[in-house]
Amino acid sequence: MKLAALAAALNLPAPTQTPEADVTGVTHNAAWAEPGSLFVAVRGARADGHSFIAQAQERGAVAVLGEGLPTGVQTTLPYLQVPDARAALADLAAELHGHPSRDLKVVGVTGTDGKTTTSWLTRHLLRAAGLPTGLLSTAGYELPDGKLRQFPAHFTTPEAPQLQSILRELLQAGAQAAVLEASSHALALHRVRGVAWDAAIWTHLTREHLDFHGSVEGYFADKRRLIEAAPFAVLNADDPWTEQLRGVAPQEVTYSAEGGAADWQADKVQQSGRGLSFRVHSPLGEFAAELPMIGAFNVANALAAMAAAAHLGATAEQLQAGLASFGGVPGRMQLVRGPAGPQPRVIVDFAHTPPSLEKALQTLRSTTGGQLWVVIGSAGGNRDPLKRAPLGEVAGRCADQAIFTEEDHRETPLQDILAAMERGAREGGHSNFRSIPDRQEAIRYAVTQAQPGDTVLLAGKGPEDTLERDTETVPWNETREAEEALALRRP
């Protein structure tokens, strides 16, 4: 698109130089500029993008946009001045990618916790309803083919140029719907500006990220932007903040997992080793639900996902079948499917800090009739060596059997890490541990020694696809390792 035409389309100031320059893309990161890029110089908290104009130009940028050239900075490129560079970045990204969200049914999910789970559930229910659906979440992005992909610079919600390009890719891959996790940072920094939402889900709000948002009110105000931008809101009646969200979107439904008055309600919740069962009362009628997920909070996530999917056309039967076939979020309290017959329950989770390990083991304890096992390591290199002993202590205290093993030890001698974990367990007064340095062997040992009724938690790696051993990086798939270990059990 010609620079002048692009500027006119977005009501940006007309360029005084090279109006006929061809703009083929937009970026906020000078290192990502390509021939034909428009470089948006963002004044950030750590850097001023204007310092990188020369780098962007060297890489082929044809124009710069910013909130004003700082004193002493000059450029030979055309410079478009706007009041809000991040807002313009989002508008340009949407325009240059042809507004892909307008051709998709888009569901946004925001809240302090539950975004990732609810996003995955929603995309699964939409697929169960026959809609080819893409997904963008902390865990990566997924085309309707179901294969998870990563994008550079790990974000929950990436900056607008990446976001719009992913939406375009989804559309080209045949998606008719997309589910996007919208972080509060993304909402505050205009990363999702220009997305044409069809529905917005609110999980709940608790104090978090106050360093960035300033106050809990500021955090709420940033998250609220998603509800303000959506024509249809799915609100959590159990969250006190919801009062301030009522009537913000033109249409809304509420959900409650705690017996509150709401359009979507659940009762008769039961937890077992294999998941949750509950009864749903909804505008689509009343029906029984089975959800192979651990953690009662997932009832709320499921209600929210169902309400959004129903808005996009899913029937009660499709929702019921969709919940029952949900495979979980990769590496997050993920139940590993094993061969038929009595088996220990095996779970893959990415908990890798002492508090998250403790929480995961406590959650599993409540539905474990037999022994609780954990396989856990601690990363090497410069990754927080002080957590090794506490991890050992938590494993010894909260599990019946703890197996310490490798977990990206990098250049740090593995024996040193294992010794620190053992010391932590021993000093906590526990002797229920052993170290098996090779992770595959450790997993196979735990899974084959455990009995039906036991739970084996494989903690730390979650969905990561590599294992860093000394200077070597090897491919890794914890779920597959678990499946193979289960298959080794004698029938």
Ligand X SMILES: CC(=O)N[C@H]1[C@@H](OP(=O)(O)OP(=O)(O)OC[C@H]2O[C@@H](n3ccc(=O)[nH]c3=O)[C@H](O)[C@@H]2O)O[C@H](CO)[C@@H](O)[C@@H]1O[C@H](C)C(=O)N[C@@H](C)C(=O)N[C@H](CCC(=O)O)C(=O)O
Minimum distance, C-beta of residue 32 to ligand X, in the bound complex (Å): 8
Which residue number, 376 or 485, has a Cβ lying nearer to ligand ATP? 376
Interaction residues for ligand X, span 17-56 (CB under 6 A): 28-31, 42, 44-47, 49, 52
Question: Which one of the spans 72-80, 108-116, 384-392, 430-438 is the region binding ligand ATP (CB under 6 A)?
Answer: 108-116
Residue 252 sits in the site that holds ligand X (CB under 6 A): no
**What x-and-dash track marks residues 140-159 binding ligand ATP by CB under 6 A?**
----------------x---
Instruction: Put residue 350 in one of left, alpha, beta given phi > 0 → left and psi -120 to 50 → alpha.
Output: alpha
Query: What's the rounded Cα separation, in Å, for the pair 161 and 158?
Result: 8
Residue 156 sits in the site that holds ligand X (CB under 6 A): yes
Interaction residues for ligand ATP, span 326-365 (CB under 6 A): 332
Residue 183 sits in the site that holds ligand X (CB under 6 A): yes
Residue 113 sits in the site that holds ligand ATP (CB under 6 A): yes
The length of the chain, given as a count of residues: 491
405 is an annotated ligand-binding site residue: no
Residue 164 sits in the site that holds ligand ATP (CB under 6 A): no
Q: By rule CB under 6 A, what count of residues binds ligand X?
A: 20
| Buried residues in 420-440 as b, exposed as e (16+ CB within 10 A) | bbbebbeeeebeebebbbebe
Question: Which one of the spans 65-73, 114-122, 273-281, 413-421 is the region binding ligand ATP (CB under 6 A)?
Answer: 114-122
Residue 220 sits in the site that holds ligand X (CB under 6 A): no
Q: Does residue 271 contact residue 254 with C-beta atoms inside 8 Å?
A: no
Query: What's the rounded Cα separation, in Å, for the pair 308 and 167?
Result: 19
Residue 115 sits in the site that holds ligand ATP (CB under 6 A): yes
Query: What's the rounded Cα separation, in Å, for the pair 365 and 303?
Result: 25
Which residue number, 183 or 282, has a Cβ lying nearer to ligand X? 183
Choose the one of ligand X, ligand ATP, none that binds residue 114, judging by a C-beta under 5 to 8 angstroms depending on kind. ligand ATP
Minimum distance, C-beta of residue 16 to ligand X, in the bound complex (Å): 24
Choose the one of ligand ATP, ligand X, none that binds residue 301, judging by a C-beta under 5 to 8 angstroms depending on kind. ligand ATP
Choose the one of ligand X, ligand ATP, none that binds residue 459, judging by a C-beta under 5 to 8 angstroms depending on kind. none
Choose the one of ligand ATP, ligand X, none that binds residue 155, judging by a C-beta under 5 to 8 angstroms depending on kind. ligand X
Residue 312: which of 241, 253, 247, 226 has the closest Cα?
253
Which residue number, 66 or 295, has a Cβ lying nearer to ligand ATP? 295
156 is an annotated ligand-binding site residue: yes
Residue with tokens 């917005």: 200
Residue 387 sits in the site that holds ligand X (CB under 6 A): no
Question: Which one of the spans 112-120, 446-454, 459-467, 478-486 is the region binding ligand ATP (CB under 6 A)?
Answer: 112-120
Residue 467 sits in the site that holds ligand ATP (CB under 6 A): no
Shortest-Cβ-distance residue relative to ligand X: 44
Which residue number, 212 or 476, has a Cβ lying nearer to ligand X? 212
Minimum distance, C-beta of residue 347 to ligand ATP, in the bound complex (Å): 12
Choose the one of ligand ATP, ligand X, none that binds residue 387, judging by a C-beta under 5 to 8 angstroms depending on kind. none
Residues annotated within the binding site for ATP are 111-117
Binding site for ligand X (CB under 6 A): 28-31, 42, 44-47, 49, 52, 155-157, 159, 183, 185-186, 189, 212
